Amino acid sequence: MKAVNDFLIVEKHQEGPRKVGGLILTESLDEDNRYIRGTVISSGNLAQYIKQGDVIMYDKHAGHGVSLNDKLYQVIRDKDVVIVE
């Protein structure tokens, strides 16, 4: 699987529930967090600063899901990335 142009194929990190003020927040209750962390599986030829293996944070409303070999990936544009770790 290879991304083209300015697209990125990303595998989302599964974040466990976290505690805030004694309350346990699950992913469905964490509405304040707008960004998702993931690892870049493939970057297109026009994605300048992001390469395969980078850990990124991107807008949770960006892109769409693609299923391959029973695994779900997100396909996003490089402009939706806000942080490269």
Phi, psi of 56 (to 5 degrees): -125, 165
Instruction: Tell the CATH superfamily of the 7-84 domain.
Output: GroES chaperonin (2.30.33.40)
Q: Output the six-digit token pair for 13.
A: 């990190």
Q: Read off the pLDDT band of 13 (50, 70, 90).
A: confident
Domain layout of the chain by residue ranges: 7-84
| CA-to-CA dists, residue 36 to 53, 70, 79, angstroms | 16, 21, 14
- For the cut 60, the answer to whether the pLDDT of residue 30 exceeds it is no
Mean pLDDT of 17-24: 70
Global pTM reads 0.79
